[in-house]
Amino acid sequence: MLCGMLTMLLLLQAAAPAPAAPAKAPSEIVAAAPASDWVDIAPDDLLVMQLAPDRDGAARKVVIQLMPPPFSQPWIANIRTLAKAHWWDGTAVTRVQDNYVAQWGDPTEKKPLPAGLMKASERAYMTVIPKPAENRLSRFRYPDPYSRGTLFDSGWPLAFELIHDVPVVDQNGRPMPPSTTRNAWPVHCYGMVGVGRNMPPDAGTGAELYTVIGHAPRHLDRNIALVGRVVEGIENLSSLPRGTGPLGVYEKPEQRVPIASIRLASEQPAAARPHLQYLSTESASFAAYADARANRRDAFFIVPAGGADICNIPVPIRRKP
Ranges within 42-71 binding a copy of itself (CB under 8 A): 55
Asked if residues 214 and 182 have their Cβ atoms less than 8 Å apart, the reply is no
What is the widest separation between alpha-carbon atoms in the chain? Answer: 75
Report if residue 24 touches a copy of itself, rule: CB under 8 A. Answer: no
The least distance separating a copy of itself from the CB of residue 290, rounded to whole angstroms, comes to: 12
Which among 30-38, 70-78, 263-271, 307-315 is the span making contact with a copy of itself, rule CB under 8 A?
A: 307-315
| In the complex, minimum distance from the CB of residue 30 to a copy of itself, in angstroms, rounded to a whole number | 15
Q: Does 33 bind a copy of itself (CB under 8 A)?
A: no
How far lies 46's CA from each of 73, 194, 228, 231, 232, in Å? Answer: 15, 15, 9, 9, 11
Count of residues that interact with a copy of itself, criterion CB under 8 A: 50
The single residue among 219, 252, 270, 321 that binds a copy of itself, judged by CB under 8 A, is 219
Q: How far is the CB of 308 from a copy of itself (least distance, A)?
A: 6
Radius of gyration of the chain from its Cα atoms, rounded to whole angstroms: 22
Residue 222 as a binder of a copy of itself (CB under 8 A): the answer is yes
Between 74 and 88, CB nearer to a copy of itself:
74
Alpha carbons 66 and 50: distance in angstroms, whole number = 17
- Residue 122 in the binding site for a copy of itself (CB under 8 A): yes
Q: Toward a copy of itself, which CB reaches closer, 122 or 267? A: 122
Contact 77, 60 (CB under 8 A): no
217 binds a copy of itself, rule: CB under 8 A: yes
Q: How far is the CB of 36 from a copy of itself (least distance, A)?
A: 28
Told to check if 301 binds a copy of itself by CB under 8 A, we report yes
CA distances for 195 relative to 49, 50, 138, 147, angstroms: 16, 19, 31, 21
**In Å, what is the CA distance from 8 to each residue of 12, 38, 106, 223?**
6, 27, 61, 55
The correct pick among 4, 34, 173, 200 for binding a copy of itself (CB under 8 A) is 200
- Do 283 and 35 meet the contact criterion of CB atoms below 8 Å apart? no
Count of residues making up the chain: 321
Residue 242 contacts a copy of itself per CB under 8 A? yes
Query: CA–CA separation, 312 vs 321, rounded Å?
Result: 26
| 149 interacts with a copy of itself by CB under 8 A | no
What is the C-alpha to C-alpha distance for residues 190 and 181, in angstroms, rounded to an integer?
A: 28
- Footprint on this chain of a copy of itself (rule: CB under 8 A): 55, 96, 98-99, 122, 125, 142-147, 189-191, 199-200, 214-219, 221-223, 234-235, 238-242, 293-294, 296, 299-309, 311-312, 314
